[in-house]
Amino acid sequence: MIDPKSLRDDFPALQQRLQSRGEYDLGPLRELDQAQRTLEQQCHQLQARSNEIGRLVGQKLKARLSAQDPDVQMLTQEGNSLKIQLAELEPRLRELKGRLEQALLMIPNPPSPLTPLGKDEGDNRLCHTWGEPRLPDFPVLPHWEIGESLGLMNFTRATRMAQSRFVALVGAGAALERALIQFMLDRQTQAGYLEVAPPLLVNTQALTATGQLPKFGEESFRCAQDDLWLIPTAEVPLTNLYSGEIIPGGSLPIYHCAYTPCFRREAGSYGRDTRGLIRLHQFNKIELVKLVHPQTSEAEHQTLLGDAEAILQALELPYRVVELCTGDLGFSACRCFDLEVWLPSAGNYREISSCSNFGDFQARRGNIRFKEPGQKGTQFVHTLNGSGLAVGRTMAAILENYQQADGRVKLPAVLQPYLNREFL
């Protein structure tokens, strides 16, 4: 959530930054904020006068004046009039506050000044590449054909029991996914992240805090009877571990990682990546989340990116890093780097991790603050997250990049001890 004070104190700059994302007119929002503050000030003045009258009446009665005394009656009448006015104004104030809060929840995070300007993904900036894309001298198969031919995965039977965009991993396929999960967790905990096994169902407030609601409710699966949602990513429960809390400043930074299944409806993506492991409704992921001091936010972002890159490098999978422009940023991010892994069957790179800095945007929505020792006030933390990595997409990249001419798949060296084998 943007800071409402920026509507008053920094409006031109805020408007300009948001318009770099698209068409956002903050004028009506500023007018709503002004109306709410004007009415709030009026209510405060009326309440202050009402409190003063109550004090004066009490003093007069304590001085043994009769309730029928003209001064007492005059004050009592004024007090009653103020109560009537407040009874009329306070519901209007609550309505304005509610409208303002809902309007603020629909405004995306203003881009960081470091984020490159641009309209869409065509304006994203290539940062660097790692590794040489593999170009086998035999016919390259897509990962789903490799997986089905080796008996690692079955889409037909999964669709029969659920619907399209689900998969059942079988035998060595299930073992490979489990090995990838353990390998990624081992690496990230060694890098300093504390592992958490969070709930897979969260309430509406949790999704609102991280920015999935109210704007993107169609992307998540909801258990309406219980007001619970299946998590679209472990970013949601990991960040909300601290919602409503004041963290001791000395406890920052906080690093967490989690393996969870993730659930997304993929609304609006029909026709895209309908085959294989790239765009499933249920998929596994290792998520990295940081809560940090605002002064270290940018440095922590670069470290987070490096932690995700380290997994791809250990697996010896060619990839590139792309910085998203303002027009391609996710709703809650102010700056974001995508890791894209090489897929030989497509002859192109595909996203496997997004590493985002949210500034204090999520912390304001979730009321996550910290307090420095010896200071009176509190500040909002900065939150960051990234995939370390998406497991299914990593599996797809391994199958395609390590496929052999005889149909087998050679396992990356770092995974062989987890599976006690060299080939699938």
- The Cα–Cα gap between 35 and 7 comes to 13
- 363 CB-contact burial (10 Å; exposed 0-12 / middle 13-18 / buried 19+): buried
Q: Is 265 a catalytic residue?
A: no
CA-based torsion, 64, 67, 69, 74: positive or negative: positive
Beta-bridged to residue 370, according to DSSP, are 247, 379
Using CA atoms of 294, 297, 300, 306 in order, give the dihedral in degrees to the nearest 10.
170
Active-site entry in 99, 351, 372, 408: 351
Active-site entry in 17, 187, 393, 400: 393
Tracing tokens 């009326």 back to the chain, one arrives at 46
Active-site entry in 279, 320, 350, 408: 279
Beta-bridged to residue 322, according to DSSP, are 126, 338
Q: Is 335 a catalytic residue?
A: no
DSSP state of 189: H
Active-site entry in 17, 21, 264, 369: 264
Beta-bridged to residue 343, according to DSSP, are 348
What's the chain's Rg over C-alpha atoms?
28
Start-to-end CA span in the chain (Å): 48
DSSP 35-99: HHHHHHHHHHHHHHHHHHHHHHHHHHHHTT--TTSHHHHHHHHHHHHHHHHHHHHHHHHHHHHHH
Q: Is 393 a catalytic residue?
A: yes
Structure tokens at 35: 């109306």
Are 329 and 409 in contact, with CB atoms under 8 Å apart?
A: no
Q: Which residues neighbour 103 within 8 Å (Cβ) at sequence distance 6 or greater? A: 28, 29, 32
Q: Is 351 a catalytic residue?
A: yes
At residue 400, the 3 state secondary structure works out as: helix
E strand residue ranges, 253-396: 254-263, 282-292, 319-323, 335-343, 348-357, 369-371, 379-380, 382-390
Are 154 and 173 in contact, with CB atoms under 8 Å apart?
A: no
At residue 259, the 3 state secondary structure works out as: strand
Active-site entry in 220, 332, 354, 356: 354
CA-based torsion, 316, 320, 323, 328: positive or negative: negative
Residues designated catalytic: 264, 279, 351, 354, 393
